[in-house]
Amino acid sequence: MTEAASDFITTALSGYDLLADSQLNKGAAFSEAERDAFNLHGLLPPNVLTLHEQVSRSLQALRAFETDLERYAFLSEIQDANETLFYALLVGNLEELLPIVYTPTVDAGCQQFSHLFHKPRGLFLSLPYKDRIDRILAQPHFDRVEAIVVTDGERILGLGDQGAGGMDIPIGKLALYTGCGGLNPATTLPILLDVGTDNPDRLADPLYIGWRHERVRGQDYDDFIEAFVSAVTARWPNVLLQWEDFAKSNATRMLERYRDRLCTFNDDVQGTAAVATGALLAAINVTGVPLTEQRVAVLGAGSAGCGIASLIRAAMRDAGLSDEEAGRRFFMVDRDGLLVERMAGLASFQLPFVQAKQAVADWKLGHPDKIDLLDVVRNAKPTALIGVSGQAGGFSESVVRAMAEFNKRPVIFPLSNPTSRAEATPQDIETWTEGRALIGVGSPFPPLTRDGARIKIDQTNNSYIFPGIGLGALAVGASRISDGMFMAAAKALAGISPARDNPKHNLLPPVSALRDVAVTVALAVALQAHKEGLAPNVPIDTIEARILARRWTPTYRPYRRAGAAES
């Protein structure tokens, strides 16, 4: 029985050229017939392996390494050599490999990027070559690009400015787009906008591979971003563009500037908001405190913290509160304490969440000149505490014990990445609340033991959201990414919470189910895009089929030599 022609991949490459193409290389899995057709005999060992056998051998080698950074480097080498094998490894072992491919190990990958660099992946667009962006993007190799993740490396996780080392973030995010969302890796493109760095360690490193220049800001920076966006939209009018790890001063304003020009979103602002909102909505099934009665304290009033507050506030409005009533239920704490009206230096995106001075006038404070987080918890008695500050220890024992004093089941989400920057560890929160807290973390932590049973901690990470956002938007050709689409994603995530059926279960599905989660989120997002008129030419009854048809699965397809006669 012969396969249909459409089941074959046709290529003109052969020999070492074929083996050097990471998207086509099968390594020792090339069949005898393919070795004949593509001049591979002698270039490979004689034994023909299956993909399953390659995965087993790779896992054995991976697990033999002593450190996660070594495993990270090993997986990167596999990805650069054979993408099908890399994604077969990832898809089949999501729970084990996600912490290595992405957070928390990616933080070390970013810091060591220049030392680990061995093969180009994606694009490095440096400011001195601004006038060449069009020519760089025009290369035929990028004709199939549909999804881009871009960073300028200034606010990498909780590490700060990593310059060109920030490239590992787009690479890692797009690995999850494929591993979890099912996007074809041949249609994805990681990009680093190199505008220099202010990190003295990077600049002093003789092996640093980025532009050795202090970070450019102001109008020159804005002009470079404009040149980039203009070139991208001209090259790929329907592309999905995700902004990643930009500094607070740029993240929200860039999103607002470009969100109506192309299909784009900022994962730190909107993705983090959606997963936090979804987890909070799921927690309501356990705490019994309705959304309209929630009081939310957020440590970290930057773009991520205010993004979370904005989406939860919108959910409160959907539940019946007025905008003013909902706004009063947020207590945003930054380095200078609680945000209150007429405080100096407030950003525009923070203004909707400042507390009136009159509202806090009679609070009992530990320090007369600053309202800190402990003051907020003791006076406002929040039902939920969310951390996106990048400040290890930001949730002190006093703060967590106060949350437990005022709530039967306190909701505590230390979401900062990597694990070294988490506001508190799950074990400490468990101890300080006597096992009553509902805990969500941004990076993986070891399970807890509660009443003799091992309890997995919910990884309240954007990987539950952005793969489905991208899959759903691309499946229906959405012209824009709206706030309503993120709300739909959050509610869809809450809708599949295991705690809906049993309050003793986790708030979120297991990491091993992220591919199924992505489909659920994608369907909700696509339907919302259709409802808002952002995908007007797509019949609603075809949406689910479009989503499923777009999912790429890492398998080896047979190859046919270009020009060979079809049988």
**Residues recognised as catalytic:** 102, 173
Q: CA-to-CA distance for 240 and 53, rounded, in angstroms?
A: 35
Helix (H, G, I), strand (E, B) or coil at 438: strand
Residue 471 in contact with residue 522, Cβ under 8 Å?
yes
Q: Three-state DSSP class for 474?
A: helix
Separation of first and last alpha carbons in the chain: 11
Helix H or strand E encompassing 405: helix 397-406
3-class DSSP string for 159-204 = CECCHHHHHHHHHHHHHHHHHCCCCCHHHEEEEEEECCCCCHHHHH
379: tokens are 């006076």
Q: Please answer whether residues 526 and 473 qualify as being in contact, where contact means their C-beta atoms are separated by less than 8 angstroms.
A: yes
In DSSP terms, 241 is beta-bridged to 148, 264
Helices assigned H by DSSP within 496-542: 514-531
Measure CA 190 to chain center. Answer: 13
- 154 contacts: CB under 8 Å, gap ≥ 6: 160, 161, 166, 215, 245, 246, 247, 250
DSSP alpha helices (H): ranges in 411-482? Answer: 426-432, 466-475
Angle at 92 between CA 33 and CA 123, to 5 degrees: 80
Render 310-342 in DSSP notation, one character per residue: HHHHHHHHHTT--HHHHHTTEEEEETTEE-BTT
Rounded CA separation 141/34 (Å) = 24
Token pair, residue 525, equals: 């997002």
